[in-house]
Amino acid sequence: MKRQVVTVLSAIVLVAAANVAQAADAAAGKAKSATCAGCHGATGHSVVPTYPNLAGQKEAYLVKQLKAFKDGSRKDPTMNAMVAALSDADMANLAAYFSSQK
């Protein structure tokens, strides 16, 4: 019985954590994306072949890459500097915005 309760409580915690992770605000991401537009385009469609398109990428992938640039595990002088001041919420919001673009 105790094991079942622990299993149910664990499932509830996981669902709650998933809902928090999905609570990113695409509108806030759009507002924050102005600095991204110079290289990646206003809607995430880059006009420069050397800069990747962000539009339509998976949200989790975008967050992972932004965090990697911020912690230095992914190196690019421009991107490392661009994400330095971003909070986790900023990164989630940007990812929500760009992933929602076609």
Asked if 93 and 28 touch (Cβ cutoff 8 Å), the reply is yes
Residue type (1 letter), 59: E
Look at the domain 25-99 and name its fold: Cytochrome Bc1 Complex; Chain D, domain 2 (1.10.760)
Residue 27 dihedral angles phi and psi, to the nearest 5°: -65, -40
> How confident is residue 1, by pLDDT bands cut at 50, 70 and 90?
low
Closest-CA residue to 34 (of 88, 93, 102): 93
> How confident is residue 34, by pLDDT bands cut at 50, 70 and 90?
very high
d(CA 45, CA 5): 48
The model carries a pTM of 0.77
DSSP state of 46: -
| Residue-wise pLDDT tens digits, 52-71 | 999 999 999 999 999 999 99
**Spans of all domains in the chain:** 25-99
Residue type (1 letter), 19: N
